[in-house]
């Protein structure tokens, strides 16, 4: 065979053919974990303009570059103080095993930052291991108890998430063990569906009353976040501010999930890059930038990503997938188990099966033994420390004594798409497509 004459279709590459044939065989959409795999404009498409003559840098390791952030300064009696602007995103016990939740809490506590609950409520182990714990208030209200609201340090009203804006969560039967089922008041082994919208409020006017109720129950002590999946981000941010949020969490389409339809993961929502800019625009237009804190998530992987999100105007970022990878998600170990799932390290998205080869997204006690919570916490702590150091390094290079002093003017874009979305000039020009 002459290989030069063999040409794959751009419209029907092998993975598309495989999906068509899977759909033809099963008659059902594909449900999987993880985040979007398609290429989208990202923070990689931006670079910093390090200081030289027109601006001068700070000396690395000697001159101070602070990283602390306070969240909840608008209304809460007890805002939360974080030492680093990198938080751990909401992930449920159920989606994750107990060891993984414990490791997330320990690492976040060691680094002086927060972790977040998920669907199903708060476990005692999670509260114990997390010095600062944000409690998610989700449409399903699985496991939602007022005592847990009172035990939390902040409350996050989840209106949507980046992996599936407009959709509800899923937890497939193999992960609904007895403990998970009891926490969620569900029959064991069912394919759990979560509602896509809250049962007792719709729209921004109701949300304002809902936030008021949550404040009354907790005596106005806790910061209240509102989390949205990035879609109509400018409007959603404005409406959340109007509804009385202390902080807005914007989750871009690269954000992960434990299980949802692939068509949601890949085809709904906008990337994190333009979402940050839209959210910051909304806050500035309302005169609320830095008064209502903005937390950005969805595909944050490096200290450079953190620095770029902050430079665009975010107050903090949140990481989910990357924190799991620090624990060992997709690590090249137990490779035969990846193979049994039909995948390999680096491409695994089988969180939905409960058969996580590295013991993170599972309720199987044997698999969970593969994740030592103390060692995993140390790895995540190292990773968070690395992100922080990288972010500080870049901020110092731009002459900033606090990472929040980074600004859009410190960056240029390498592609027209990124220039238009982030609204910074294309490198070497003064051109911002659509704006100048």
Partner 1 sequence: MQTLDLDRIDVRTANQQLHDGAGGDNEYEILNPMGRHAIAVGLDGPFEVAVRGHAGYYCGSMNKQANVTIEGNAGVGVAENIMSGRVHVKGYASQSAAATGHGGLVVIDGDASARCGISMKGVDIVVGGSVGHMSAFMAQFGHLVVCGDAGADLGDSIYEAKLFVRGSVESLGADCIEKEMKPEHLETLRGLLEQAGIDADPKEFRRYGSARQLYNFKIGNIGYY
Question: Which residues of this chain interact with partner 1, rule CB under 8 A?
Answer: 26-28, 31, 140-141, 144-147, 149-150, 172-173, 185-187, 189-191, 193, 195, 199-201, 206, 209-210, 212-213, 216-220
Which of helix, strand or coil describes residue 295? strand
Question: In terms of residues, how long is the chain?
Answer: 436
Q: 195 vs 340, which CB is nearer to partner 1?
A: 195
- C-beta closer to partner 1: residue 206 or 339: 206
Q: Are 406 and 392 in contact (CB under 8 A)?
A: no
Q: Which residue shows structure tokens 């220039």?
A: 419
Q: Minimum CB separation from partner 1 for residue 151, in Å?
A: 12
Tell me the closest approach of the beta carbon of residue 209 to partner 1, in angstroms. Answer: 5
Separation of alpha carbons 104 and 20, rounded Å: 38
Shortest Å distance, C-beta 195 to partner 1: 6
Give CA–CA dist 295/281, Å, rounded. Answer: 14
Q: Which is closer to partner 1, CB of 201 or CB of 338? A: 201
Minimum CB distance to partner 1, residue 200 (Å): 4
Nearest-CA neighbor of 158 among 113, 98, 214? 214
Q: Which is nearer to partner 1, 17 or 190 (CB)?
A: 190
DSSP type of residue 371:
S
Residue closer to partner 1, measured from CB, 48 or 220: 220
Task: For partner 1, give the closer residue by CB, 124 or 199.
Answer: 199
- Measured from the CB of residue 220, what is the shortest distance to partner 1 in angstroms? 7
38/263 Cα distance (integer angstroms): 11
In whole angstroms, the minimum distance from the beta carbon of 245 to partner 1 comes to: 17
In the complex, what is the shortest distance from the CB of residue 369 to partner 1, in angstroms, rounded to a whole number? 28
Q: 8 vs 216, which CB is nearer to partner 1? A: 216
Residue 135 contacts by C-beta under 8 Å, 6 or more apart in sequence?
116, 117, 122, 148, 149, 151, 152, 154, 155, 156
CA 53 remoteness from chain centre: 37
Quick check: 276 and 309 in contact, CB under 8 A?
yes
Other residues' Cβ atoms within 10 Å of the Cβ of residue 356? 31
Nearer to partner 1 among residue 196 and residue 389 (C-beta) = 196
Helices (H) and strands (E) in the chain, counts: 15, 16
Angle 72-157-29 from CA coordinates, rounded to 5°: 140
Token pair belonging to 55:
């601006």
CB of 425 to partner 1, least distance (A): 47
229 — phi, psi (to 5°)?
-75, 140
């Amino acid at each position: 065979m002459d290989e030069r004459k063999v040409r794959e279709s751009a419209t029907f590459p092998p993975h598309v053919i495989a999906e068509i044939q899977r759909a033809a065989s099963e008659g059902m959409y594909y449900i999987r974990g993880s985040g979007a795999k398609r290429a989208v404009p990202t923070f990689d498409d931006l670079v910093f303009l390090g200081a030289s003559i027109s601006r001068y840098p700070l000396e690395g390791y000697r001159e101070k570059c602070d990283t602390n952030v306070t969240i909840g300064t608008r209304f809460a009696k007890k805002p939360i103080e974080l030492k680093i602007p990198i938080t751990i995103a909401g992930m449920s016990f159920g989606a994750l095993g107990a060891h993984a939740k414990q490791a997330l809490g320990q690492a976040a506590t060691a680094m002086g930052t927060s972790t977040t609950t998920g669907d199903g409520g708060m476990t005692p182990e999670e509260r114990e291991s997390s010095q600062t714990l944000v409690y998610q208030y989700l449409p399903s209200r699985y496991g939602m108890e007022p005592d847990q609201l009172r035990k939390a340090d902040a409350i996050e009203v989840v209106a949507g998430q980046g992996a599936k804006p407009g959709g509800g969560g899923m937890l497939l039967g193999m992960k609904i063990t007895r403990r998970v089922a009891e926490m969620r008041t569900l029959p064991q082994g069912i394919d759990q569906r979560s509602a896509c919208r809250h049962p007792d409020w719709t729209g921004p006017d109701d949300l304002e009353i809902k936030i008021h109720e949550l404040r009354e129950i907790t005596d106005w002590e806790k910061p209240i976040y509102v989390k949205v999946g990035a879609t109509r981000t400018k409007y959603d941010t404005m409406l959340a501010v109007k509804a009385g949020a202390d902080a807005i969490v914007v989750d871009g389409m690269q954000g992960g999930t434990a299980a949802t339809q692939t068509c949601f993961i890949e085809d709904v929502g906008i990337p994190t890059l333009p979402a940050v800019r839209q959210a910051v625009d909304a806050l500035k237009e309302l005169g609320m930038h830095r008064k209502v804190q903005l937390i950005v998530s969805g595909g944050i992987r490096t200290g450079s990503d953190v620095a770029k999100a902050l430079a665009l105007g975010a107050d903090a970022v949140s990481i989910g997938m990357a924190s799991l990878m620090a624990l060992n998600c997709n690590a090249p170990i137990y490779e035969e188990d990846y193979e049994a799932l039909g995948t390999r390290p680096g491409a695994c998205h089988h969180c939905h099966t409960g058969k996580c080869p590295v013991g993170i997204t599972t309720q199987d006690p044997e698999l969970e033994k593969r994740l030592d919570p103390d060692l995993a916490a140390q790895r995540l702590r190292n990773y968070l420390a690395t992100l922080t150091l990288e972010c500080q390094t870049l901020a110092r290079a731009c002459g900033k004594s606090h990472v929040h002093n980074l600004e859009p003017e410190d960056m240029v874009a390498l592609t027209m798409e990124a220039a238009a979305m982030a609204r910074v000039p294309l490198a070497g020009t003064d051109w911002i497509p659509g704006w100048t």
